[in-house]
Amino acid sequence: MLIIGNWKMNGTPLDVAALESIAETARAAPATEVVICPPFTMLTAVAGTAGLKCGAQDCHEADAGAFTGCVSAPMIKAAGADYVLVGHSERRRLHSETNEVVVAKATAAIRAALIPVICVGETASERAAGDAYRTVNEQLRAVIRTLRGDIVVAYEPVWAIGTGNVPSVRDVQEMMARLGSMLREGVGLDAKLVYGGSVGAANAAAFLQVEHVSGVLLGGASLRLEEMRQIINVSSSGVGARRADAGP
Ligand code: PGA
């Protein structure tokens, strides 16, 4: 199970106590991989904390060059990270990132031996129009055509991010089944699926038990330490095993 915490624009290298408290729980849950995605200024602090994996929240598609304010995938790798989020809905919306840009960033991540966590998801109006799958399919089509290697796909309905609203387990199950079969068409692509959008201690177990789901991507809950620790404990308490026992 993969528990990914996206700290967004929160945290400074002074927050070592918070990291250590998450790491302590993570170390007691060896079957769960806990990835913290802090701001760039904290990458080395996370990478240096035993028990945690480190991820960045974005990367540039080029390896180096005249791109003021940007950070490249090889730089992120050199800081000790193993993962990088690409195409988060806040980047798509606030920084006008297109599907093409997202694929270029994911390609740069794989080139640098990072695992890209490719975020996809429909808006509320797309869902209301019955276009949820079509949107996500479009976001992933180029990924499947172009990428080779390990990736994580995070299904995050835009309307669920930071709102407290979540899709039903049934809707997530249906979307994950469709994404799973779509991703299996990719040649040389090893993809894991995670769910994100208003996941907290109260609903994490339900999402972790959905077939094809290998973890969750947390925003707000990853900053609430006690809640983060509870979610790690839920994931390591055999939720996945129970799902396997339940059969198809
Ligand atoms: P949230 O954010 O858990 O606060 O909804 C999720 C995300 O932005 O990845």
Taking CA atoms only, the protein residue closest to ligand 1 atom 1 is: 219
pLDDT at 242: 56
Annotation says 60 is catalytic: no
pLDDT at 191: 95
Q: What is the dihedral sign for C-alpha 68, 78, 36, 63?
A: positive
Q: Does ligand 1 lie within 6 Å of residue 214's CB atom? A: no
Q: What region, left, alpha or beta, does residue 94 occupy, with left being phi > 0 and alpha being psi -120 to 50 degrees?
A: alpha
**146/225 Cα distance (integer angstroms):** 38
pLDDT at 122: 97
Buried b (16+ CB within 10 A) or exposed e, 140-160: bebbbeebebebbbbbbbbbb
Global pTM reads 0.95
- Of ligand 1's listed atoms, the one at least distance from the Cα of 162 is 5
How many A from CA of 65 to the centre of ligand 1?
Answer: 31
- Of ligand 1's listed atoms, the one at least distance from the Cα of 220 is 4
Taking CA atoms only, the protein residue closest to ligand 1 atom 6 is: 219
pLDDT at 243: 55
Query: How many CA atoms lie within 13 Å of 13's alpha carbon, on the beta-carbon side?
Result: 8
pLDDT at 106: 97
- Exactly one of 88, 126, 212, 227 is catalytic; which is it? 88
Q: Does ligand 1 lie within 6 Å of residue 200's CB atom? A: no
How many A from CA of 225 to the centre of ligand 1?
Answer: 15
Taking CA atoms only, the protein residue closest to ligand 1 atom 7 is: 219
- Mean pLDDT, 10 residues at a time, the chain of 248 residues: 97 90 96 97 97 98 98 98 98 96 97 98 97 96 92 98 96 96 89 97 97 96 96 85 46
How many A from CA of 247 to the centre of ligand 1?
Answer: 30
